[in-house]
């Protein structure tokens, strides 16, 4: 009896172990979808086809059968939760779904708790983070990638602002947030977000109310991110409101491509409504498996619905789960479930929550899914480290009258291209602007020219253009009129009007003066009014400076500007020593020294061979002085015989020619032109002095001098009219006036007793100010460039600003004296020439001296001081003697054979 009991126990244990190790007969997988939607219908057919294909070959699951249990959520989040809980009561190893991101956020918490992988190819909210929801896997590219594709399209076509229309649910709302981030990276933005009730609850009246608001806005590029029912309602109502006509741009997310692929055929009303729309479709590369599945589709669906990419993803998701389960079983995994300790105390009641169990192998199955690297009907099934599908890409479709056409592709590998992504994968990634390409587009209304993307809002309001109400320099901006009929005119106004007349659209506007009319307004405040939306733009003599560019957008500068210093000029009285003014004292001293130097060098070179340079010391000194200074006026009477002397003189004559010409020109200018009596020579001397400085009231000059050049504000004096400039300078109230070049040119044309001192010390320009991101600023800039090219900009300038310049300003008075630096190169050349000539002369003399002067032979005095001094005296005597003398003496010495005579090296 004891033996029988032991055998029975052993058999039961072996049976239990064997049953635990064996694969189950059925592997249960749940699926949660809304069957009445396009994606729900397609997914249901595709998953059933995948289930049949898996079960048709027993080796796929090692003898187990795959059972996909489907649950219709019918647009209800509550029913989705109920369906998920029912699956968890029946030992389900995975769930495919849910269809939307709202329920994905909820069901992911259940999946995390019960370790059941949740796979979805339609809940593509980019915020479903794997860190927060580790058991949730998106098996199709999430919306972050299609928003990147849309942002690249916006940047490619050069639009700066878009409007987003979306369903106010998790997936659409978070997708629009992702779009905003991607656009910001490309210096674009979403100017308005129009939220609609979640699909499919939006009504026609709610849609119309939002679209009417959009009609009153500036942007004409509309991104429609919703689902098929709400999306078709939006485009239909937009067509009724005339928003599908020329000038609009509509870009729909992937919902529209599913309608185009699956709804056969489209109604004529729907087809008319969506003409010219751009849309995205998940790209699936062409392959034999894909073609084979597509050829089966008509039979699978009985012609009830067309296949779209999400049907392919549904089919691959089933196969993905199958491959992971087979690997799970091959690894020795068991389909075992255990009760949750957290749910055990919730037993009882109709919900029966205690029946929910944890899938013990859920973690291993999840890892198997994420590590797959197989090929399906959608291409390579592989996940990146961030759990996104491998190399996501999209087709870009353009809806036309007879259907749609593909105008290009987008991939996160190389951006926009007319070449399929799989062909680009064999090349290095290239996201440069030159590589981004799309085919031509037919836009809404049948237009083939790219829409501008924005218009002046059609709300009956004119653009409010702020202009400075100036009291001085009214040639730039002024207004005149009686009884409220103000006329605005001036140089800046004419340029603005000429620019908007070149635009291909109307710009209704009105000018609004800014300022009290008693003093020039603050231009910083005028620019701030644009930022504060008090004005839609600011037109006038507005300088483009750094602080202003931070808050507004400026057009292309229409005139150059820069700060200059103006001081009074007076006719200087003639002085006794005026003829010395062309050169500085140092320059005069250096020039005189070089005259003496050249005379001395020539004397040394000519002394031994030229009788004109010989004689008593007094005569030779006079010859040097005479020869030196006579070269300034005429060729000296002394002839130069040596080649080295002539070489030095040629260089020196060139130097004298340049110095004489410069001296004559400068002296003529000094004696005939008005000169500045002010010690101020430019902004540097003005800043370092302690003199008061005048500036134009209301301009940026005050802040520039104070903040950038650190001039104390106590030294700054605000001046208004040109007459105040003149009076302040004449009376010594200010030492100089600092203002912009265009103002100063007008001032000097009427006040010839003043002049500019120094050069411009800033470089800027004047432009028109618009709010940040305003597209009209770009068009006005283009028009200003056109005015410059056709010459009209110069004609407007001549009309308002052309004056006859005073002679005193024509000289551009900078400096009336020459410094040594101006002639340093010449003097260096002359000095080097003299040095080389002397060096060569010395070498020749030493050679002659060593050949013809005998060595001392007295050993007692060899190396002594007397011998060295004697040889030096002999050399000096040799150098002083005329060359013919020592030659004849040398012959006589050799003939006499004197032991102290000269030796001939040739013997």
Residue that is written with structure tokens 């253009």 in the block: 465
Question: pLDDT, tens digit, for every residue of 853-903?
Answer: 654 434 444 444 456 676 667 666 666 666 656 556 555 555 555 444 443
Question: pLDDT, tens digit, for every residue of 311-345?
Answer: 999 999 999 999 999 999 999 888 888 876 666 55
Mean pLDDT value of segment 109-135: 91
Phi-psi category of residue 465: left, alpha or beta, with phi > 0 → left and psi -120 to 50 → alpha: beta
pLDDT at 4 over 50: no
Higher per-residue pLDDT: 660 or 155:
155
pTM tops 0.75: no
Question: pLDDT, tens digit, for every residue of 517-546?
Answer: 888 999 999 999 999 999 999 999 999 999
Higher per-residue pLDDT: 78 or 227:
227
Which residue, 338, 363, 326, 336, is CA-closest to 20?
A: 336
Burial of 475-509, coded b for 16+ CB within 10 Å and e otherwise, reads bbbbbeeeeeeeebebbbbbbbebbbebeeeebeb
pLDDT at 86 over 50: yes
**Quick one: angle between helices 204-215 and 228-240, nearest 10?**
50
Higher per-residue pLDDT: 815 or 455:
455
pLDDT at 828: 84
> What CA–CA distance (Å, rounded) separates 738 from 697?
11
Question: pLDDT, tens digit, for every residue of 598-616?
Answer: 778 777 777 666 666 666 7
Q: In the chain, what percentage of residues exceed pLDDT 90?
A: 48
- Asked whether 171 and 143 are in contact (CB, 8 A), the reply is yes
- Asked whether 84 and 45 are in contact (CB, 8 A), the reply is no
- Confidence bin at 501 (pLDDT 50/70/90): very high
Which residue, 586, 629, 653, 634, is CA-closest to 830?
A: 653
- Pairing status of strand 478-480 against strand 487-489: antiparallel
Question: pLDDT, tens digit, for every residue of 721-771?
Answer: 899 999 999 888 999 999 999 999 888 888 888 888 888 988 899 999 999
> What CA–CA distance (Å, rounded) separates 732 from 832?
51
pLDDT at 75: 72
CA 77 to chain centre: 46
Question: pLDDT, tens digit, for every residue of 65-75?
Answer: 999 998 888 77
């Amino acid at each position: 009896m004891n033996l029988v009991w032991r055998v029975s126990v052993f058999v039961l244990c072996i049976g239990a172990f064997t049953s635990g190790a064996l694969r189950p007969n059925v592997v249960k997988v749940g699926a949660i979808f809304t069957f009445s939607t396009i994606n729900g219908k397609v997914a249901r057919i595709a998953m059933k086809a995948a289930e049949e294909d898996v079960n048709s070959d027993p080796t796929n699951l090692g003898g187990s059968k795959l059972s996909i249990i489907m649950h219709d959520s019918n647009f209800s989040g509550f029913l989705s939760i109920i369906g998920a809980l029912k699956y968890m009561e029946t030992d389900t190893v995975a769930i495919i779904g849910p269809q939307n991101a709202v329920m994905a956020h909820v069901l992911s918490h259940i999946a995390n708790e019960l370790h059941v992988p949740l796979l979805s190819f339609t809940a593509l909210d980019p915020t479903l983070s794997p860190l927060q929801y580790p058991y949730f896997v998106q098996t199709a590219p999430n919306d972050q990638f299609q928003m990147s594709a849309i942002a690249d399209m916006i940047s490619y076509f050069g639009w700066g602002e878009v409007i987003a229309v979306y369903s106010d649910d998790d997936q659409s709302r978070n997708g629009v947030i992702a779009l905003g981030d991607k656009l910001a990276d490309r210096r674009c933005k979403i100017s308005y977000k129009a939220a609609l009730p979640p699909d499919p609850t939006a009504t026609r009246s709610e849609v119309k109310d939002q679209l009417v608001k959009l009609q009153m806005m500036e942007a004409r590029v509309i991104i429609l991110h919703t689902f098929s029912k709400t999306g078709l309602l939006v485009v239909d109502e937009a067509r009724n409101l005339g928003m599908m006509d020329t000038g609009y741009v509509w870009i729909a997310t992937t919902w529209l491509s599913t309608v185009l692929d699956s709804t056969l055929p489209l109604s004529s009303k729907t087809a008319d409504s969506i003409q010219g729309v751009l849309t995205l479709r998940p790209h699936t590369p062409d392959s034999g498996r894909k073609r084979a599945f597509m050829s089966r589709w008509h039979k699978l669906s009985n012609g009830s619905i067309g296949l779209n990419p999400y049907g392919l993803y549904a089919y691959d998701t089933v196969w993905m789960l199958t491959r992971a389960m087979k690997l799970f079983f091959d690894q020795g995994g068991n389909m075992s479930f255990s009760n949750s300790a957290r749910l055990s105390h919730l037993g009882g009641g109709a919900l029966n929550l205690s029946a929910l169990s944890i899938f013990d192998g859920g973690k291993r199955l999840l890892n198997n899914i994420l590590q797959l690297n197989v090929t399906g009907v959608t291409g390579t099934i592989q996940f990146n480290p961030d759990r996104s599908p491998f190399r996501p890409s999209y087709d870009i479709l353009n809806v036309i009258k007879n259907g749609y056409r593909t105008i290009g592709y987008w991939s996160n590998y190389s951006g926009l291209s007319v070449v399929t992504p799989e062909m680009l994968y064999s090349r290095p990634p290239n996201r440069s602007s030159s590589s981004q390409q799309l085919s031509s587009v037919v836009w809404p209304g049948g237009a083939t020219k790219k829409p501008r993307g924005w218009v002046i809002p059609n709300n009956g309001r004119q653009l409010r253009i702020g202009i400075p109400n100036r009291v001085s320099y009214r040639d730039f901006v002024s207004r005149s009129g009686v009884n409220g009929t103000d006329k605005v005119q001036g140089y800046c106004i004419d340029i603005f009007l000429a620019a908007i007349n070149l635009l291909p659209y109307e710009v209704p506007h009105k000018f609004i003066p800014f300022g009290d009319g008693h003093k020039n307004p603050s231009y910083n405040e005028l620019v701030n009014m644009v930022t504060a939306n008090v004005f839609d733009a600011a037109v006038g003599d507005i300088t483009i400076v750094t602080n202003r560019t931070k808050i507004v957008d400026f057009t292309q500068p229409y005139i150059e500007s820069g700060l200059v210093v103006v001081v009074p000029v007076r006719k200087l009285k003639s002085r006794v020593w005026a003829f010395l003014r062309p050169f500085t004292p140092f320059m005069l001293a250096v020039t005189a020294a070089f005259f003496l130097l050249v005379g001395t060098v020539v004397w040394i070179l000519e002394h031994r061979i030229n009788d004109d340079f010989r004689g008593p010391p007094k005569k030779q000194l006079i010859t040097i002085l005479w020869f030196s200074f006579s070269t300034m006026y005429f060729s000296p009477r002394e002839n130069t015989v040596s080649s080295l002397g002539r070489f030095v003189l040629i260089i020196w004559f060139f130097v004298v020619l340049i110095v004489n010409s410069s001296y004559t020109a400068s002296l003529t200018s000094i004696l005939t032109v008005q000169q500045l009596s002010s010690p101020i020579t430019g902004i540097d001397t003005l800043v370092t002095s302690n003199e008061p400085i005048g500036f134009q009231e209301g301009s940026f000059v005050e802040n520039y001098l104070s903040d950038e050049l650190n001039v104390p504000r106590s030294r700054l004096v605000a001046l208004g009219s040109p007459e105040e400039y003149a009076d302040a300078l004449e009376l010594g109230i200010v030492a100089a006036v600092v203002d912009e070049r265009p103002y100063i040119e007008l001032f000097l044309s009427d006040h010839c007793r003043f002049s500019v001192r120094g050069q411009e010390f800033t470089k800027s320009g004047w432009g028109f100010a618009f709010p940040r991101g305003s597209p009209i600023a770009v068009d006005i800039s283009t028009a200003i460039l056109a005015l410059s090219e056709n010459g009209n900009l110069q004609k407007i300038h001549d009309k308002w600003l052309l004056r006859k310049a005073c002679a005193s300003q024509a000289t551009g008075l900078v400096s009336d004296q020459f410094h040594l630096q101006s002639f340093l190169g010449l003097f260096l050349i002359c000095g080097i020439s003299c040095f080389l000539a002397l060096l060569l002369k010395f070498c020749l003399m030493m050679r002659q001296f060593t050949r013809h002067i005998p060595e001392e032979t007295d050993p007692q005095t060899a190396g002594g001081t007397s011998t060295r001094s004697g040889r030096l005296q002999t050399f000096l005597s040799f150098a002083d003697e005329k060359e013919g003398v020592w030659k004849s003496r040398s012959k006589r010495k050799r003939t006499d054979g004197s032991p102290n005579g000269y030796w001939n090296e040739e013997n």
